Structure 1
Amino acid sequence: MTRIVEKVQGSTGERRLQQAHGTAGRAQRFYDQQMLDHLNERMTAFVGRQEMMFVATSDADGECDNTFRAGPAGFVQVLDATHLTWPEYRGNGVMASLGNITENGHVGLLFVDFVSDVIGLHVNGRASVVEDEVARAAYPELPVDPVPGRRAERWVLVEVQEAYIHCAKHIPRMAKAARKREWGTDDVRRKGGDFFGAAADAAARAASPADAARPTRLRRWLRRLTPGRRVGSAADTR
């Protein structure tokens, strides 16, 4: 039997805008018909087919981060109807998402199938970071990946609070192409090098600190909107 979320859905901001723009009835139908507080069988099967997902987190102050996770099909493991987990592989050492989770457990996951089903699935919930040996003690069935670069260092465990569809109408259909992926590599070129020129920009700023510190017109405008906030600081560019 399908369980529908019983609590009042939507944030205060959502509800306020729905009332202001006359969409409250349409939104309520979506909440009632599409939003669950668990993963049903079709959602579970869908997650098991995915090779990627997007992960949204924020720290205790609400500073946001959105990142991409990938692995072999089924790298995100559905443990039961209200819990899922995924492995964290060796990365660049920044641990932005995991750091946020340790401060603020709320996460928003988005799975999108661009190839076969051309549909998306949102999963929102509360996350915690668990070391690999602890996770395996609790869930011995967790797989051990044969590829060294995909060996889990730790796992993110999520308690599902909301699960709902992302409609298909604007999702492009893409063709999957074979590509050798260098899991766990530290080779700068294979990781993308300085594709966006960030290292070059940083070097230029270091060479001319006076020019880098000069406020731009946009920064001055933002400071007027948000007095007291250090616009342009590292926190604003994460």
Structure 2
Amino acid sequence: MSKQHGEHILQEKYNTRKRAASFYDNQLLNYLNPLMQEFVSEQEMVFISTADAGGNCDSSFRAGPEGFVRIVDDKTLLYPEYKGNGVMASLGNILENPHIGLMFIDFFENSIGLHINGVASILDNEELTTMIMTDKIRDDIEKETKAERWVVIKVDEAYIHCSKHIPKLCKPENDSSREKDDKAQKSGDFFKVKQSKK
């Protein structure tokens, strides 16, 4: 048997090859078209997936102000890494295995999603000067004072996640709830792991 991607093997097994071919032809790009770029620039959150050299997976969540994920060009985007728990799980995976998946979901307006798969690299703030980008993007990035470093993604695939089963959510009118000084949540031990150690 010739070497095939797992998805192609299963398309044959479950007789979905024709549907899949239509998807590849009509929904899949290897760059971000203008509508995809606009969509990304409006998002306040993204789910990321990485894996280490052994294939052990990790999924994580990144959020920031609208447009915190910046579009450099139709093949390149980057997002800031803010101060976290210091574990560096996602960045550690990228160091071992640069493949990354990003999942943007608009829960509020259109109930639609965008998958972006690509190859990631880690840049410290001072290394951003080596990237070719417009003055507008460079000025915008320089205003990002909380970023400790950046993840740059070269796009391999971009495709839709259809609205089926994506719930429509409503933002609270007063979003100051994020600013509440809730010690239980901010302590990092919401699930009482410290007390559950055996």
TM-score by shorter chain over 0.5: yes
Structure-2 residue corresponding to 1:220: none
Give how far 1:117 is off. 1.5
Gaps of 5+ in 1: 1-10, 206-238
Match of 2:113 among 113, 120, 135: 120
Give how far 1:195 is off. 2.1
Q: Deviations over 1:112-157 (max 9, x none)?
A: 00001110000000000000111145353342447x6xx1110000
- Cα distance in 2, alignment partners of residues 109 and 155 from structure 1: 15
Gaps of 5+ in 2: none
- Kindly tell me the number of residue pairs found equivalent between the two proteins: 187
The answer to whether structure 1 residue 155 and structure 2 residue 142 are counterparts is no
Match of 2:15 among 22, 26, 50: 22
Structure-1 residue corresponding to 2:186: 191
Contact 1:136 1:142 in 2 (8 A): no
Structure-2 residue corresponding to 1:76: 69
Give how far 1:12 is off. 1.4
Structure-2 residue corresponding to 1:65: 58
Q: Which moved more, 1:12-21 or 1:43-52?
A: 12-21
* Equivalent position amino acid for 1:141 in 2: D
- Cα distance in 2, alignment partners of residues 145 and 70 from structure 1: 17
Structure-2 residue corresponding to 1:216: none
Runs (4+) off by over 6 Å:
none
Distance 1:166 1:64, change over 3 A: same
Give how far 1:191 is off. 1.9
For the residue of structure 2 that corresponds to 1:67, the secondary structure is: strand
Contact 2:44 2:65 in 1 (8 A): yes
* Equivalent position amino acid for 1:15 in 2: H
TM-score under structure 2 normalisation?
0.88
* Equivalent position amino acid for 1:197 in 2: K
- Cα distance in 2, alignment partners of residues 193 and 55 from structure 1: 20
Match of 2:162 among 160, 167, 181: 167
Give how far 1:168 is off. 0.3
Structure-2 residue corresponding to 1:104: 97
- Cα distance in 1, alignment partners of residues 140 and 9 from structure 2: 43
The answer to whether structure 1 residue 181 and structure 2 residue 178 are counterparts is yes
For the residue of structure 2 that corresponds to 1:43, the secondary structure is: helix
For the residue of structure 1 that corresponds to 2:195, the secondary structure is: helix
Give how far 1:197 is off. 2.4
TM-score under structure 1 normalisation?
0.74
Contact 1:131 1:155 in 2 (8 A): yes
Contact 2:108 2:170 in 1 (8 A): yes
Structure with greater proportional strand content: 2
Larger radius of gyration: 1
For the residue of structure 2 that corresponds to 1:181, the secondary structure is: helix
